[in-house]
Structure formats: C-alpha cells, structure tokens
Amino acid sequence: MLANDTDPDGDALHVSQVNGQAGNVGTAVAGLGGGTFTLNADGSYSFNPGSAFQSLPVGETATSSITYTVSDGQGGTSTATLTVEITGANDAPTVVTLDNQDNMDGDEVNYDLSGFFSDVDSGDVLTYSVDHVPGGLTFDTATGTFTGQLAKWASDHTNTGVKGEYKITVTATDSSGATVSQTFVWKVGNPEPIAVDDNGETGQAETLKVDHRAEGVLGNDTDPDGDALHVSQVNGSAASVGAAVAGSHGGSFTLNADGTYSFNPGSAFNSLPAGETATTSITYTVADAQGATDTATLTITITGTNDTPILTPGVTLDDQANNDGQLITPVDISEQFTDADTGDELTYSATGLPPGLTIETPSMSRRSMARRAMWARPLPAWAAAPSR
C-alpha cells in the first residue's frame, strides 16, 4: 500500500492506523461492504471475501474498503483508502433432503420440490429434471412440481423391484449449468375396495336366483381407484365360492365369483307360520385385481307360507270293529295328523260316520295336542279327515 505514497523530505513511511485505530494494524478488520482486510505496518495486506459476496451474480462486481493512515515517524501523517473490487463467480445450487411420498392409486397429487433447492447467486433461475414419473402424473421442469392423479395401476408398477415403489432422482440446474441432485422414494399403495351388505327376500319354499351381475352382491360394492372386483371367499373360504354353503340359520347359498347367487331354503323354514319371517346369512369377501379385500354380509329374509296338514309319518288310522249297541272306548285320532307350521291349530271333521258315532271338533294346537275321541254305538267302519 505504501508503494504509491511519498514523503517530501524522504522520510521512511509506515502504516500507523487502520480505520482510525493503531490497534487494527496487522489484524483482521471488517471491510466497508464485506470481507476482512489485514493491513500490515509495511503496507502489505490481504483481503478475504468470505461468504459476503456469494450472492454476487457471475461477472458482476462489488467493492469493499478500509481507511489507513501513513506516518513518517516524525509526527507527519496522511490518510488514504484501500478499496478492493470483487467479481462474482457462479455458485452451484444446493439442496436439503427431499421428503419421501406415500400415496394411494387414484390420489390427486401436487408436490412442489422447488422449496428444497436454492442458489445463492442473486437472480439465478433454476430448472428441474427427474429420471422417473409415476403413472398418471406430469412433472413441470420450470416449477419443479409433480401434478395429476395417480393411475389406478401405479401401485402395481415399480422401478426398484418392489411393487408400488419408485426411486426418483431430481436434478436442479442453474443458469450457468451447475447442478445438484437429490433422490427420494415415492410409495404408491392400492386402496381397499368397499363392500356393502346385501339383502334378498324369498318364500319358505321358493328358491331365489339372482343371475345378473348388477343385481348381485357386487352391484353396490365399489373400488376407490376403479379396479374390477370379484368374490374371493365365502364364509372365509376360497373353496366355497361357487359351491353350496349352509346359511347361518338354515338354507343353502351358492355365491359365484361374479356376485350372482342363489338361495335354496330347503325344508329349514317349513315350520315358519304364514306371514312370519326369519333370516339367514353368509359372509363374503370382495377382492380387487391387486389383492386388496373387504368383507360384507348377504342376508336373506324368508317369509312363511301355509303348509297343509298331513298324516303323521309312520302313524296310520287303524280300522275299528264293534257290535251294534256296544259302548266303545274313546278313540284318539289327533296323533295321526300333523302340521309343520309352528302354532298352527287343527280342527277335525268326519264324513261317513256310522249312526250313533260322533267326533269332537274343538281346535287343536300342534304344540299341545289334547286327546280327542269319537263316541257312539259303532257300526263296522268310519272315516275322519282334518280341516283348518
């Protein structure tokens, strides 16, 4: 610094102060504008810009300075300024750890990556690129943003070997071509289908058949990402799909993979009185093509119908033989008749009775069949029939 400084009478010169302080000579001093100066007594110096000018764009300049005092050793002094000009150089972009992503097929996505990248050079513009984009999405290279709706098959694809997992490398490039890259993992899952309980109705002796898929158990079931659905299990068993399965309270179900089904009440509800109802059910599992499942119940309501009385199986009406005028022992015929309907009451009438023979006709419940008899002086034969 002293090379261009002079003394009229040729005295030797030295730096006696920096920024007005003798103690600053030979020590680091902050420059006016940034950086640090170290100015020695003999005029030699150094300047360290540090990080003060990192944001200076490529080719642009800035200055920083200090003042110093020159002394001739005889008390004569003079003050001047040391100014350093700094020219900007390109700084590469920087990045912090990217957030991993976790979504489901069909999700709407708006993932902006630009906030993870930065560049200290003032006014520098970054552009972005990626090495993979999950199905259904687009990537904007100007904004660094993934947008769109994940494809319903996104969870079934991969670039890592694991279904639904994508390893994506993002690269940011500044105006001078400097780059920085960072990798994150994007996992895409398959949402479960939604199975809704189903109901059907039939009579106690009527087989119910549902032959159209839209009317079957899958007609009201849905899948969030639109996957095709099928019945994969009945009552927890894959082998029971398409096979006859006993209902929880009787009857037999056959539920097919496409959701169509039939129900045969068999004889399980024969005792159901006319107009009264009972229910029986099975559970079924709905699955999509990727194996996600949900479970629901198919319930059938059975309405009772009237059953005609019948002769009690294995019991016959015995022929009777008596003499004219003979007082006979009462003959109970009620046990020869039965009715499947619970609580149904039978009454009795007879035709072709011999003179003097009668039949008691009060109603009779199958729950408590009291003895009913015929009384008379019998002839050789008689006949009786129940009615309701």
DSSP 21-80: BGGGTTSEEE-BTSSEEEE-TTS-EEEE-TTTTTTPPTT-EEEEEEEEEEE-SSS-EEEE
CATH code 2.60.40.10 region(s) in the chain: 94-189, 198-304
Instruction: Round to whole Å and give the CA distance between 77 and 61.
Output: 32
| pLDDT tens over the chain, length 388 residues | 788 988 888 889 999 999 999 999 999 999 999 999 998 999 899 999 998 888 888 888 899 999 999 998 888 999 999 999 998 888 899 999 999 999 999 999 999 999 999 999 888 899 999 999 999 999 999 999 999 999 989 998 999 999 999 999 999 999 999 999 999 999 999 999 999 999 999 999 999 999 999 999 999 999 988 889 999 999 999 999 999 999 999 999 999 999 999 999 999 998 888 888 999 999 999 999 889 999 999 999 999 887 777 777 777 777 778 777 777 777 777 777 776 667 667 777 778 778 877 777 654 333 333 334 444 334 444 444 444 4
CATH 2.40.50 fits 2-88, yes or no: no
**In this structure, which topology does domain 94-189 adopt according to CATH?**
Immunoglobulin-like (2.60.40)
**Pairing label, strands 117-118, 108-112:** unpaired
Give the architecture (CATH level 2) of 198-304. Answer: Sandwich (2.60)
8 A C-beta contact, residue 362 and residue 352: no
Which residues have C-beta within 8 Å of that of residue 367, sequence separation ≥ 6? 342, 343
> Which token pair is 75?
């008390």
